[in-house]
């Protein structure tokens, strides 16, 4: 540590929850910096399963401070729903702090998310329908409602009126009808008392912690290929799930980041629409889905599955300056006679070595594969690098070499203990 960022290096759902949970053990502060409850983390702890969408996974450790940064968009219903569910299981949540600058997801954002998708018809993005995009739109149009607005009722009511004025035509056009600004404000104000104790200056809190030599874990959600700037636009989310966003989404400088952990599955999945060159439509894809239990934590949608796309992974490593990789779900590949890893694309007559700049090229990209031998052994009991079958080690080594990065974690099962932590990273040496 002391400043470590965890990000997804694919299209989200890489198993970041589990890796974050492992790293959180050593952190004093866990801070989320982007996205909203479009994310979903499943953490298995002592056989107990926790599903979190908004609250950072560090909440399970009561001694740590858990921060929701300004870059996150917050649906208060979800926030307090999660807190209540945690409290019902004996987890207090008093260690949570929320940036006063974070934006709130309003009821009209949810309505507009659905309406936008309907309007796009066959060009729809396949959003999670949680109002994420419309909330970020308001943020950048500068008519968003922020957490701190809850502290000033008069201003809040005025801001909601302004925001709704602009939406009036859209909501009518989509036959949604008109929302009463006072009703919207009343509903939001019902959260004020509960929200107030959590509100903080997250930038000050996190920088002070770093100044004191404490360890801060910056928790990203989604993944690089869903990045609004660098992902497979327009089939992306509305924030930047890359490491740089940890700075703007909390309020720290880049000099405060020491390590970047990129989390990637040992194959690829994606939910929602959009291009996916290594997608499988055969029985191998079905097996990956079944064995890997590839259903979304947030929407329950079945994830599309395919071989590992190393070109895309190397791109994600570059975008986030990944220092260490955490490879997950290696156990899901057990029993496959041969593994394929995409090392280049073919788009028309062109052979592409790098992730293409032009979206049309990526839409037409066909994978060029390297084949590697599989293994038959069940690897869920493996506790160390040496316990893995040679073919599994070769596969991991191949990933490290192709992406020119170090592998620090290998997950061989969903449980917290089913993770191999490599004492010396595989790939270009160096300690974490
Ligand atoms: P939105 O973030 O709800 O606007 O959805 C935009 C795109 O990002 C859709 O394709 C979603 O399926 C995808 N997406 C958003 N959050 C996640 C996530 O946590 N995991 C995987 N895909 C996600």
pLDDT at 385: 96
pLDDT at 177: 79
Its pTM surpasses 0.75: yes
| Closest residue to atom 12 of ligand 1, CA basis | 272
Whole-number Å distance, alpha carbon 128 to ligand 1 midpoint, is 6
| Closest residue to atom 11 of ligand 1, CA basis | 127
For this structure, is 53 an active site residue?
A: no
Whole-number Å distance, alpha carbon 237 to ligand 1 midpoint, is 6
Task: Report the alpha-carbon distance of residue 357 to residue 123 in Å, rounded.
Answer: 21
| Closest residue to atom 2 of ligand 1, CA basis | 237
| Closest residue to atom 16 of ligand 1, CA basis | 38
Please give the domain boundaries of the chain with CATH numbers for all domains.
3-98+198-256 (3.40.440.10), 103-193 (1.10.300.10), 264-427 (3.90.170.10)
For this structure, is 324 an active site residue?
A: no
Whole-number Å distance, alpha carbon 131 to ligand 1 midpoint, is 11
- Best residue among 237, 238, 302, 303 to mutate for probing ligand 1's pocket (most ligand atoms within 8 Å of CB) is 237
Cβ < 6 A, ligand 1 pocket: 11-13, 38-40, 125-128, 130, 132-133, 221-222, 226, 235, 237-238, 271-272
Whole-number Å distance, alpha carbon 170 to ligand 1 midpoint, is 23
Whole-number Å distance, alpha carbon 208 to ligand 1 midpoint, is 33
Catalytic residue, from 21, 41, 149, 309: name it.
41
Is the Cβ–Cβ distance between 218 and 68 less than 8 Å? no
pLDDT tens by residue, the chain, 432 residues: 699 999 999 999 999 988 998 999 999 999 999 999 999 887 777 778 888 999 998 888 888 999 999 999 999 999 999 999 999 999 988 999 999 999 999 999 999 999 999 989 999 999 999 999 999 999 999 999 999 999 999 999 999 999 999 898 888 888 887 899 999 999 999 999 999 999 999 999 999 999 999 999 999 999 999 999 999 999 999 999 999 999 999 999 999 999 999 999 999 999 989 999 999 999 999 999 999 999 987 788 899 999 999 999 999 999 999 999 999 999 999 999 999 999 999 999 999 999 999 999 999 999 999 999 999 999 999 999 999 999 999 999 999 999 999 999 999 998 888 999 998 777 764 445
């Amino acid at each position: 540590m002391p400043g470590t960022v965890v990000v997804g290096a694919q299209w989200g759902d890489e198993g970041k929850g589990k890796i974050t949970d492992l790293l959180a053990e050593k952190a004093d502060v866990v801070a989320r910096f982007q996205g909203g409850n479009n994310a979903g983390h499943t953490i298995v702890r002592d056989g107990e399963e926790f599903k979190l969408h908004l609250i950072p996974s560090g909440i399970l450790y009561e001694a740590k401070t858990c921060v929701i940064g300004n870059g996150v968009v917050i649906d208060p219903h979800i926030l307090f729903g999660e807190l209540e569910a945690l409290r019902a299981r004996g987890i207090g949540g008093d260690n949570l702090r929320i940036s006063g600058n974070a934006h709130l997801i309003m009821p009209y954002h949810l309505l507009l998310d659905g309406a936008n998708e309907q309007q796009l018809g066959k060009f729809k993005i396949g959003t999670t329908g949680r109002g994420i995009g419309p909330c970020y739109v308001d943020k950048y149009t500068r008519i968003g409602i922020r957490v701190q607005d809850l502290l000033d009722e008069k201003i809040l009511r005025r801001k909601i009126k302004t925001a709704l004025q602009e939406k009036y035509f859209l909501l009518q056009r989509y036959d949604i009808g008109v929302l009463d600004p006072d009703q919207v404000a009343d509903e939001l104000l019902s959260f004020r008392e509960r929200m107030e104790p959590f509100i903080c200056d997250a930038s000050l809190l996190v920088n002070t912690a770093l100044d004191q030599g404490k360890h801060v874990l910056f928790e990203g959600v989604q993944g690089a290929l869903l990045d609004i700037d660098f992902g497979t636009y327009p089939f992306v989310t509305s924030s930047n799930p890359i490491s740089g966003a940890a700075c703007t989404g909390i309020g720290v400088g880049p000099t405060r980041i020491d390590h970047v952990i990129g989390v990637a599955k040992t194959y690829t999945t994606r939910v929602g629409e959009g291009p996916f060159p290594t997608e499988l439509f055969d029985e191998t894809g079905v097996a990956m889905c079944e064995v890997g239990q590839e259903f979304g934590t947030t929407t329950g949608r079945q994830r599309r599955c395919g071989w590992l796309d190393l070109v895309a992974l190397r791109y994600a490593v570059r975008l986030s300056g990944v220092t260490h990789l955490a490879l997950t779900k290696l156990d899901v590949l057990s029993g496959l006679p041969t593994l394929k890893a995409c090392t280049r694309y073919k788009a028309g007559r062109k052979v592409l070595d790098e992730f293409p700049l032009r979206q049309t090229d990526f839409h037409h990209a066909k994978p060029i594969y390297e084949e590697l031998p599989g293994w038959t052994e069940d690897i869920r009991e493996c506790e160390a690098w040496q316990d893995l079958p040679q073919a599994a080690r070769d596969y991991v080594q191949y990933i490290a070499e192709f992406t020119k990065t170090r592998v620090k974690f290998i997950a061989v099962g969903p449980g917290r203990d089913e993770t191999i932590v490599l004492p010396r990273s595989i790939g270009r040496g160096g300690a974490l």
